[in-house]
Amino acid sequence: MKKLITNVALYQDHSIKEGKNIAFTDDRITDFPDHPDRTAYDEIIDGNRMLAMPGFVNTHNHIAMTVFRSYADDMQLMDWLMQKIWPAEAKLDSDIVYAHTMLGIAEMIRCGTTSFADMYFFMNDVARAVETSGIRAALCRGVTGITPNAQEALAESKEFYHTWHKKADGRITVMLGPHAPYTCPPDYLRQVVDLAHELGAEIHIHLSETKGEVQDIKEQYHKSPIALADELGILDCGCLAAHCVWVDEDDLNIMARKHVRVAHNPGSNFKLAGGIAPLGEMLKKGITVGLGTDGASSNNNLDIVEEMHLAALVHKANTLDPLVIPAETALQLLTEGGAKCLGYTDVGKLEKGYKADITLIDREGLHWYPKHNTMSLFAYSANSFDVDTVIVDGKTLLRHKAFTTIDIEKVKAEAERTKEKLFSQLD
């Protein structure tokens, strides 16, 4: 299928160009023709009044945690996990996870997201939801070394890799997901590293999320979580590290040297009172960073445009430097930075040969006037409700805010049904 988006404002090469056309054949961008022959295309998508951005990337999620949205708020991370979330997660099943993954995927698509990284369990159900919805994802089975299912979870990870890596037309990639150094003792992390080498898989892990975690790990192992992960070989596998809030100069140097990619989750870090990650310092050192929502239970939505907005503002207040994250950097984090975090080499930019993962944003809202500077308008004034059209792998998943692959009323009903099933066991 040959498709053409016409007369659109195009974000490319660090600037926004008005009146452009984007041509793509099947899943890839082919051209930006100035005078396209409209008869040569199977479908024309009118881009008038729209901004075309590379699809947004959500680099850290536990997607089925939508089921716990507003269930356990206003708690410290460790209390939240140990008292509320982990006991409730013990009652999850494949039906609940599938339904709430679909809910999360729908919410993400509605917010302009074209790919996401997920760490959870019942991953075959997550992968099925990715496959049917048409979104792109880097998935991992989250594993912990302190639970009775530790070895079984590793075996499942391996099987999951063999079943789903590069499947769903290549939209699914599989990573390994050791949860964190405080739930995965060194011997267990070594096993994960061995498996990563055996499979050629990359690693997604939580590192240095809270001050308490860093203190505990330093007391136990006499080094920071980053230094510990480095010593155990985690950072040599290609590593996506969520949070990295409490990292010092030495940690940052290790992260830069080992090409650690950081999932920055400002909403989750604020809500769980984790702190503010040194994003400006990371970027100065050349560390790759993308944005993430984390699970809907610690955010409490999956709106990646809101995360961009938070990231663009908070570091200015925190460093008293209005230049620390300029508008263009915010856009980069949302798109190219995120795509690199997920290990993609042909996603994250609107360029010839890149995947046709495209988000069109309506620029007609009142908050888009007057039109001084489109990049600033997007970074500081826009919200996810402006997202009009979402294209992944060349296929339209959302058009004029309506889903094409998802029956949204059914998704809501299924979410409600399975939530009742879960919580009737917990109450």
Ligand X SMILES: N[C@@H](CCSC[C@H]1O[C@@H](n2cnc3c(=O)[nH]cnc32)[C@H](O)[C@@H]1O)C(=O)O
Q: How far is the CB of 66 from ligand X (least distance, A)?
A: 12
- 125 binding Zn ion? (CB under 5 A): no
Binding residues for Zn ion, rule CB under 5 A, total: 1
Q: Could you tell me which stretch among 51-59, 128-136, 140-148, 371-379 binds ligand X (CB under 6 A)?
A: 140-148
Q: Residue 367 annotated as binding?
A: no
Q: Which residue has the CB atom at the shortest distance from Zn ion?
A: 294
Q: Residue 264 annotated as binding?
A: no
Q: Residue 315 annotated as binding?
A: no
Cα distances (angstroms) measured from residue 215 to each of 218, 341, 378:
5, 27, 39
Q: Residue 141 annotated as binding?
A: yes
Nearer to ligand X, 140 or 356 (CB): 140
Give the phi and the psi of residue 329 in degrees, each rounded to 5: -65, -40
Rounded to 10 degrees, the C-alpha dihedral 179/180/184/188 comes to 80
- 118 binding Zn ion? (CB under 5 A): no
Contact 205, 237 (CB under 8 A): no
Q: Please tell me the distance from the alpha carbon of residue 24 to that of residue 145, in angstroms, as a whole number.
A: 45
- 149 binding ligand X? (CB under 6 A): yes
Nearer to ligand X, 73 or 346 (CB): 73
Q: Which does 57 bind (CB under 5 to 8 A by kind): Zn ion, ligand X, none?
A: none
Give the phi and the psi of residue 419 in degrees, each rounded to 5: -65, -40
Q: Please tell me the distance from the alpha carbon of residue 61 to that of residue 234, in angstroms, as a whole number.
A: 20
- 66 binding ligand X? (CB under 6 A): no
Q: Which does 210 bind (CB under 5 to 8 A by kind): Zn ion, ligand X, none?
A: none
DSSP string, 160-208: HHHHHTTBTTTTEEEEEEE--TTTS-HHHHHHHHHHHHHHT--EEEEES
Cα distances (angstroms) measured from residue 134 to each of 142, 340, 389:
23, 20, 14
- 414 binding ligand X? (CB under 6 A): no
Tokens of 89: 């997660």
3-state secondary structure of 248: coil
Q: How far is the CB of 77 from ligand X (least distance, A)?
A: 6
Q: Residue 89 annotated as binding?
A: yes
Nearer to ligand X, 210 or 332 (CB): 210
- 294 binding Zn ion? (CB under 5 A): yes
Q: Residue 171 annotated as binding?
A: no
Binding residues for ligand X, rule CB under 6 A, total: 22
Q: Residue 243 annotated as binding?
A: no
3-state secondary structure of 241: strand
Q: Which amino acid is at 58?
A: N
What residues from 203 to 242 belong to the interface with ligand X (CB under 6 A)?
206, 209
Q: Could you tell me which stretch among 78-86, 246-254, 290-298, 324-332 binds Zn ion (CB under 5 A)?
A: 290-298
Q: Could you tell me which stretch among 9-17, 126-134, 144-152, 400-408 binds ligand X (CB under 6 A)?
A: 144-152
Rounded to 10 degrees, the C-alpha dihedral 350/116/267/50 comes to 30
Q: Please tell me the distance from the alpha carbon of residue 21 to that of residue 9, in angstroms, as a whole number.
A: 9
Q: Where are the beta strands (DSSP E) in 200-353?
A: 203-207, 239-243, 261-264, 288-291
For residue 235, which of 248, 251, 213 has the smallest C-alpha distance? 251
Q: How far is the CB of 314 from ligand X (least distance, A)?
A: 17
Q: How far is the CB of 206 from ligand X (least distance, A)?
A: 5
Q: How far is the CB of 415 from Zn ion (least distance, A)?
A: 21
Q: How far is the CB of 85 from ligand X (least distance, A)?
A: 5
- 295 binding ligand X? (CB under 6 A): yes
Q: Please tell me the distance from the alpha carbon of residue 276 to that of residue 270, in angstroms, as a whole number.
A: 7
Q: Residue 14 annotated as binding?
A: no
CB count, 10 Å around CB of 35? 5
Residues of each annotated binding site:
60, 62, 89, 141, 179, 206, 209, 294
Query: Contact residues for Zn ion (CB under 5 A)?
Result: 294
Query: Contact residues for ligand X (CB under 6 A)?
Result: 62, 77, 81, 85, 89, 119-121, 142-144, 147, 149, 153, 179-180, 206, 209, 268, 294-295, 298
